[in-house]
Structure 1
Amino acid sequence: MVHNPVVVAALSAALLAPLAAGMYSSNSPVLQLTSKNFAEKILKSNHASVVEFYAPWCGHCKNLKPAYEKAAENMKGLAQVAAIDCDEDANKRTCQEYGIQGFPTIKVFKPGKSGKPSIQDYQGARTAKGIVDFLIEQIPNHVTRINSKTVDGFLKEKNETAKAILFTTKGVATPLYKALAVDFFGSVTFGQVRDKETEVLKLFGVEKFPTFLVLPGGSAEGVIYDGDMKKDGMLKFVKKFAQPASGKPKDDEKKEESSSTSSSSAPPPRPTFDSTIPEAPSLEAFAATCGNKICVLVVTPESAPSLSAQEKANFYVNHVKQTFPFFQVQGSKLSPEFMKGFALEKSDQIQVRALSAKRGWYVAYSGDSASDEELKIWIDKIKMGEIQKVKIPQFEKEESTTPPEPAKDAPAPEEPAKEVPKEEEPAKEATKETPEHEEL
Structure 2
Amino acid sequence: MVIFAQQVGRCGHCKNLKPELVKASVDLHDQQSNAIIAAIDATKSPKLDGKYAFDMHERTAEKIVEFLKDPKAPPPPEPEWSEQETDVVHLNEESYKAILKKKKSALVMFYAPWCGHCKKAKPLYTSAAEKFKDNPKVMFSAVDCTKSQSICKEYEVQGYPTIKYFSFGKFISDYESERTEEAFVEFMTNPEEQMNKPKPTPPPPADPIEFWKDSAPGYEHVHMLGSSTFDSIIGPSRKALVMFYAPWCGHCKNAKPAFASVASQLASTHQDIVLGAVDATAHRDLGSKYSVKGFPTFIYFENGEFASEYHGGRGEQDLLQFLIGSTDKVEL
TM-score surpassing 0.5?
Answer: no
Sort the TM-score into its range (normalised by shorter chain). 0.3 to 0.5
Task: Give TM-score, length-normalised by structure 2.
Answer: 0.37
Task: Give TM-score, length-normalised by structure 1.
Answer: 0.29
Bigger relative contact order, structure 1 or 2 (CA pairs below 8 A, ≥6 apart): 1
